[in-house]
Structure 1
Amino acid sequence: MKTSVVLLALVSLLSCTLYAEAVPVLKTGPRELEFGNLHWRMKTSLTPTAPGPNYFRGTEDAVWVDDWGLHLTINEHQGKWWATEIFTRERVGYGTYTFTVETDIAQYDAHVVAGFFTWDTAPEEYNREIDIEFAAWGERDGTKVQYVVQPYTDPARIFVFKPELNGNLTTHRIVWTKDDVSFSSYHGKVDPDLKESEAMLIERWTHPSSPTPGRVRFRINLWLFQGAVPARPAHMVLTSFSFVPL
């Protein structure tokens, strides 16, 4: 009798063990992508939220990485227009941010905004926000590029220019130190550290002060100013991204 009970217990334990091994381990937490040696999380919102306000999707058909690069989109889905935004899992801060973007800003709807920026959820120092943005802000005179060390309402903290582009590929750099913030943009895919990159320079600007690093992450988004319905979808590809801490 005792032998039968022991055997039944062993069979039961073995069955439970086999079943436990067969159950898949579910991954919890936000969806992540790896790009530029960083981990990027998706922003999602089923109700209109800032910036915009917009609806945000982080699904595989909205944001993805392939051999071309990191893709962000604005698309219509189930009768609503959805923006995209991603942010690094890692905290960043002082250092050099360099990224190459392939997108036809001349074809952007006047309400499309592409943003590349640092952000701290703490409100001090204007959330420690430093931006490069492609936007027309609803105006019909075409998309411009702007460099900003927030707040943008101070004209000494924003530099806006209309780029004369040679194609859809551009390289951009932010160098953030404790003393200042420097911005630069270039035609094509270049290494700004090389002397020959000067021949491809579009514009540069330096702001003579900077926020403290706090607990910022880097964010990239493609969204609609004032949540306006665009004339067409938008698609942007980052072909490279790097962050070198100071």
Structure 2
Amino acid sequence: MARIAGNLACWGLLACACFCTWGCHAGRARSEPVLVFDQVPLPGPSGAGATGVLRGHVRGARAGQHVVLYALSGTTWWIQPLTIRPLTEIAADGSWSNATHLGTRYAALLVNPGFVPAHQMETLPAENQEYAAVATVAPSGGPAPVQHLRFSNYDWDIREIGSDRNGSPHNYDLANASVDARGALHLHITRTPSGWACAEVALGRSLGYGTYVFSVGDVARMDPAAVLSFFTWDAMGTDQDRREMAAVVSQWGSPRGSNAQYIVQPFYRPANTYRYVAPAGALTFMLRWDPSKTTFTTVRGSGPAGRRTTIAEHAFTSDVPTPRTESVHINLCTFDYTPAPQQQATEVVVQRFQFLP
């Protein structure tokens, strides 16, 4: 009888141990974090005007963790919403939300404190010590409509999502870009409750080699911290420094010295920046893009070429990109790294854009 009691006691201890072991594993399984999408935008191509909002929640997140969002465009996953804003905060109730460029699929990754995510990936990672949870979703429905305007016989996408132009994050307003009855493009920097809102338009396709012509009204009335840029940009690829070439007008917050410059990337190479003084009055900026060089020219006025006076001209023969999926952008925004930041609303009128193959 004692032997039976002893056996029963042993079986009881064994069952208790098994139950405790199972309970530990079950508790550990239940503590594994889970990412869930609650709101997903429509599918669409990436671009300045293609925007949406991703919302969701996470169960089991630890203190200090963040969500990292990606949108799939082509075969590449791009971080959202900005490279300088790569982390999405998790609220106390576990919810999260952020803006995103549109894509064909979306991904959310739960990362630990101090983690620095990649700006782009060809393949999403598996769950591991760096990525506590990974979730993807395919949006349903037809492509989202892109806000655009017609200017100089071209269709331009209007930027709505934020950007890090001029080295700091900026917000945009669709209403800050419009075309008047005469066909001129009006760009504005306006004050909002959350700060300054900028303006940008972009062509939806590549034009490649040729001459790009931008005729602009008087830029002398711009706020000293406002920046007007005409540039090429490849949103689909990061090779060749995104194929950026730019003509820029700004006093960078200090009304002294040069107020205009030509740039090919990377800008930090001394030979890739040329500065000069742009005078008051109407001006025309031209970019001639050839396989072996990029030539910028600024002339006074916006009339026929024979009546123009050349203000500045410079040719770059190194770091000249090759065409791929770049497009033309016109941007009016603020420069924030100055002791004298933006003080007043600013408007610039672009009278005409022309492309000559």
Aligned residue number for residue 216 of structure 2: 101
Cα distance in 2 for partners of 1:174, 1:49 equals: 24
Corresponding residue to 2:193 among 75, 78, 86: 78
Provide the identity percentage. 27
CA contact (8 A) 1:37 1:242 kept: no
SS at match of 2:223: coil
Cα distance in 2 for partners of 1:237, 1:180 equals: 29
Moved over 3 A (4+): none
- Please state how far the C-alpha of 1:143 moved relative to its aligned partner: 6.2
SS at match of 2:323: coil
2:159 equivalent to 1:43:
yes
CA contact (8 A) 2:335 2:342 kept: no
Alignment TM-score, normalising by the size of structure 2: 0.55
- Please state how far the C-alpha of 1:109 moved relative to its aligned partner: 2.4
Corresponding residue to 2:284 among 164, 168, 171: 171
What is the one-letter code of the residue matched to 1:208?
T
Q: How many residue pairs get matched?
A: 209
Q: Which runs of 5+ in 2 are unaligned?
A: 1-142
CA contact (8 A) 2:258 2:276 kept: no
Cα distance in 1 for partners of 2:275, 2:216 equals: 18
Aligned residue number for residue 115 of structure 1: 229
Q: Provide, for residues 147-178 of structure 1, a one-character-per-residue CA deviation record: whole Å limited to 9, x for no partner.
A: 1111111110110011234xx21111100010
User: Cα–Cα, structure 1 residues 104 and 142, in superposed 2: closer, same or farther, change >3 Å?
Assistant: farther
Aligned residue number for residue 7 of structure 1: none
Q: Which runs of 5+ in 1 are unaligned?
A: 1-26
Alignment TM-score, normalising by the size of structure 1: 0.78
Aligned residue number for residue 325 of structure 2: 215
Larger relative contact order, structure 1 or 2 (CA cutoff 8 Å, min sep 6): 1
- For the aligned residue pairs, the C-alpha RMSD in angstroms reads 2.1
2:168 equivalent to 1:55:
no
- Please state how far the C-alpha of 1:81 moved relative to its aligned partner: 1.2
Cα distance in 1 for partners of 2:257, 2:169 equals: 22
CA contact (8 A) 1:86 1:219 kept: yes
Stretch moving more, 77-86 or 123-132: 77-86
User: Cα–Cα, structure 1 residues 176 and 127, in superposed 2: closer, same or farther, change >3 Å?
Assistant: same
CA contact (8 A) 1:118 1:216 kept: yes
CA contact (8 A) 1:70 1:239 kept: yes
- Please state how far the C-alpha of 1:208 moved relative to its aligned partner: 1.4
Aligned residue number for residue 90 of structure 1: 205
